[in-house]
A and B are shown apart, each in its own frame.
Chain A
Amino acid sequence: MPGKLIGLQEAAALVPDGATLSVGGFTTQRHPMAFVYELIRLKRRNLYLFGHSPGGDWDILIGAGCVKRVELAYEADEAFNTVGPRWRRAVERGEIEWEDYSNFSMVARFTAGAMGIPFMPVRSLLGSDVVGKEALTPEARAADPRTAAKKAHVMDSPFDPADRVVLVPAIHTEFAVLHVQKATATGMVRIEGQSYADIQQALCADMVIVTAEDIVEDDVLRRTPELNPIPFFVVKHVCHVPFGAHPYAVYNYYDYDPLQLKEYHDGARDDAAYRAYLDTYVYGTRDHRAYLEAVGGAGRLDGLKASAKFGYSPDLKRRL
């Protein structure tokens, strides 16, 4: 120690305007929210986001005006709100550029990038408008090297012309940011529960930044190396951020926060109320410690802690 450990603000400042970025987690789970809030405080602009099923991590970035273009399969907090409210408004008002894929095809794209190959064939998408229609024009693609030259390519197999697949282009991003349960100062990462596509997202990025609930000694994670799928030398920076995914869930640590999600989603339906939410919880807080105090501090957070038996809070009141 300290090795790769740096402060959260220092880490977020590495991401410049116009960067290509993917963020770990899945809808209401394990997003690096503390990092996201730092990007908003830094007033980053024109970010290019790549994801499968983001949730409020992207929604708040989009609403705060940080995002130029997204490639995605889904944007919502699932049963907390079936469409990301700021995402929806941004699309309907023509304030964002996007391209639609499916979860499998986005993960195949991350996998291709992680493997160092140019594309991946999938048997999905055929017959759908996901492959039949494009949100980005060919001109918009040609004008910007951050976006693949083509959305997808339908191809009959060279080995059997009756066998058709869809080729989807590899993703390479400048940055991937993950929030995980445990990491070491040397860059080893331990994800507990579902890994979502965090591993592929990390492995197709030039710079991987990990925020973690706990920083542990190498020996702790070296005892079971089969549970550490990301080569440690791929990870460039590590930040220690307890409750770093709040208001989203981290398996074995804490649950999602229904009160905070309700406040966000109620507010985000309205421009002024959304702005007030940002002022209260993001711009009005100096750092993540201050954010956690603003949402209620230990009194709120203790109620979200996961039970050892379940890995979540079985008594959590989820409908308010």
Chain B
Amino acid sequence: MISMATPQYSLMELMTVIAAREVADGEVVFAGTGLPMLGVMLAQKTHAPRCIIIFEAGTVASRLAHLPMSVGDPRAMHGAASAAGLNEVFTFVLQAGRVDVGFLSGAQVDRYGNINSTSIGADPRRPAVRFSGSGGACDIACLAKRTIIIAKHEKRRFPEKVDYVTSPGWLEGGSSRAASGLVRGGPDVIVTTMGVIRFRPDTKLPYLASFHPGLTPGGVARETGFALDVGEAAETALPSAEELRILRDVVDPERVFLK
């Protein structure tokens, strides 16, 4: 008998499942390091088996058998259709406009979906906290047709404005992204441990599309450092038992990212 009981899950697992669902089958996905590797591998092992995973270190269409810990991991070579270097995938795949979706994370995300993975502090020459830097994130955010952002939801991570725009989102909102000269793209969604945030088509202002079970729209807004319209928020659809099983037993059985 199949149990109809509500599956138990952590917020990290829920966030990963919801973000993975944003990838459609057959899409070309350029995934950044960290949680995006977890999300894109889950998508490939569930509803999107034909998604084409690009990692910036040079692989095209990995069929992952083990979760990579690096976008240049030897594990990315498994089943890949092509392998070359950064220049080949950045120039001829990403810049040329062949990437449907970029999948990113970051230390800070602001109300227009701009991401900071460089430093905290008003003066980046004398930062209070220094991070890794862009890696390929800026390029992915600039040049993919749309971007999925996955990030742990904490007020300090979701400020009104990031200290440093490492990866451009909608910049200052409205048409400012296009005015900057960027030819395509922009953040489609921010999936967090509390809910799902999307952007208005014209103003690019954020709104809460859904809040995770057990939370309230007002509670999510209070944990967010920027103004968040919660008027249309619905409850997030639960992860299925099958999605959770694949995430735990197939994608990350070693608990590389899951706790």
Query: Which residues of A are in contact with B by a Cβ distance under 8 Å?
Result: 26-29, 52-53, 72-80, 82-84, 87-88, 91-92, 94, 100-105, 107-108, 111, 122-130, 132-133, 135, 154, 164-165, 193-200, 249, 251-252, 255-256, 306, 310-312, 314, 317-319
Shortest CB distance A59–B (Å): 11
Which residues of the partner chain B approach A255 to less than 8 Å between Cβ atoms? Answer: 74
A to B CB contacts below 8 Å, 15 in the list: A27-B33, A53-B135, A80-B69, A100-B133, A103-B56, A123-B143, A125-B142, A128-B166, A129-B118, A129-B166, A194-B72, A194-B77, A255-B74, A310-B65, A312-B77
Compute how far the CA of A262 lies from the CA of B230 in the bound complex, rounded to whole angstroms. 43
Q: Mark B116-138, 1 if CB is under 8 A from A, else 0.
A: 00110000111111111111111
Complex contact B130–A88 (CB within 8 A): yes
Compute how far the CA of A26 lies from the CA of B108 in the bound complex, rounded to whole angstroms. 24
Complex contact B83–A194 (CB within 8 A): yes
Would you call the interface of chain A mostly helix, strand, loop, or mixed? loop
Contact among B76, B137, B180, B256 with A194 in the assembled complex (CB-CB below 8 Å): B76
Say if the beta carbon of B87 comes within 8 Å of chain A. yes
Given known contacts A194-B59, A197-B86, A104 and B181 CB-to-CB distance under 8 angstroms: no
Complex contact B118–A319 (CB within 8 A): no
Contact among A100, A193, A197 with B74 in the assembled complex (CB-CB below 8 Å): A193
Complex contact B168–A127 (CB within 8 A): yes
Say if the beta carbon of B216 comes within 8 Å of chain A. no
Complex contact A123–B95 (CB within 8 A): yes
Given known contacts A73-B136, A104-B136, A124-B139, A312 and B75 CB-to-CB distance under 8 angstroms: yes
Given known contacts A83-B132, A164-B181, A78 and B90 CB-to-CB distance under 8 angstroms: no
Shortest CB distance A186–B (Å): 23
Complex contact B130–A92 (CB within 8 A): yes
Write the chain B residue with the least CB distance to A312.
Answer: B74
Given known contacts A29-B70, A194-B72, A318-B256, A83 and B95 CB-to-CB distance under 8 angstroms: no
Compute how far the CA of A142 lies from the CA of B129 in the bound complex, rounded to whole angstroms. 28
Given known contacts A251-B74, A255-B74, A318-B256, A78 and B136 CB-to-CB distance under 8 angstroms: no
Write the chain B residue with the least CB distance to A254.
Answer: B74
Contact among B72, B74, B134, B142 with A123 in the assembled complex (CB-CB below 8 Å): B142
Complex contact B78–A102 (CB within 8 A): no
Compute how far the CA of A124 lies from the CA of B144 in the bound complex, rounded to whole angstroms. 10
Compute how far the CA of A75 lies from the CA of B134 in the bound complex, rounded to whole angstroms. 9
- Counting chain A CB atoms within 10 Å of each CB, the highest count among B33, B74, B127, B128 belongs to B74
Complex contact B180–A127 (CB within 8 A): yes
Which residues of the partner chain B approach A75 to less than 8 Å between Cβ atoms? Answer: 132-133
Complex contact B138–A124 (CB within 8 A): yes
Write the chain B residue with the least CB distance to A30.
Answer: B72
Q: Mark B64-105, 1 if CB is under 8 A from A, else 0.
A: 011001111111111000011111001100110000000000
Complex contact B254–A27 (CB within 8 A): no
Compute how far the CA of A26 lies from the CA of B57 in the bound complex, rounded to whole angstroms. 7
Which residues of the partner chain A approach B180 to less than 8 Å between Cβ atoms? Answer: 126-127, 164
Contact among A91, A103, A318 with B135 in the assembled complex (CB-CB below 8 Å): A103
Shortest CB distance A43–B (Å): 25
Complex contact A318–B86 (CB within 8 A): no
Shortest CB distance B63–A (Å): 12
Compute how far the CA of A123 lies from the CA of B257 in the bound complex, rounded to whole angstroms. 33
Complex contact B164–A129 (CB within 8 A): yes
- Counting chain A CB atoms within 10 Å of each CB, the highest count among B90, B118, B165, B180 belongs to B90
Which residues of the partner chain B approach A52 to less than 8 Å between Cβ atoms? Answer: 86, 135
Complex contact B90–A107 (CB within 8 A): yes
Complex contact A79–B70 (CB within 8 A): yes
Given known contacts A74-B132, A78-B69, A132 and B57 CB-to-CB distance under 8 angstroms: no
Shortest CB distance B250–A (Å): 14
Complex contact A154–B181 (CB within 8 A): yes
Which residues of the partner chain A approach B255 to less than 8 Å between Cβ atoms? Answer: 319
Compute how far the CA of A196 lies from the CA of B7 in the bound complex, rounded to whole angstroms. 42
Extra pairs beyond A196-B57, A255-B74 (13, CB < 8 Å): A53-B72, A73-B133, A79-B69, A82-B34, A92-B128, A100-B134, A102-B136, A194-B85, A195-B83, A310-B74, A310-B78, A312-B66, A318-B256
Shortest CB distance A247–B (Å): 13
Shortest CB distance B78–A (Å): 6
Complex contact A314–B65 (CB within 8 A): yes
Compute how far the CA of A74 lies from the CA of B73 in the bound complex, rounded to whole angstroms. 16
Complex contact A104–B86 (CB within 8 A): yes
- Counting chain B CB atoms within 10 Å of each CB, the highest count among A78, A102, A111 belongs to A102
Write the chain A residue with the least CB distance to B133.
Answer: A74
Compute how far the CA of A135 lies from the CA of B167 in the bound complex, rounded to whole angstroms. 17
Closest 5 pairs (CB-CB, A-B)? A164-B181, A127-B180, A26-B72, A74-B135, A79-B69
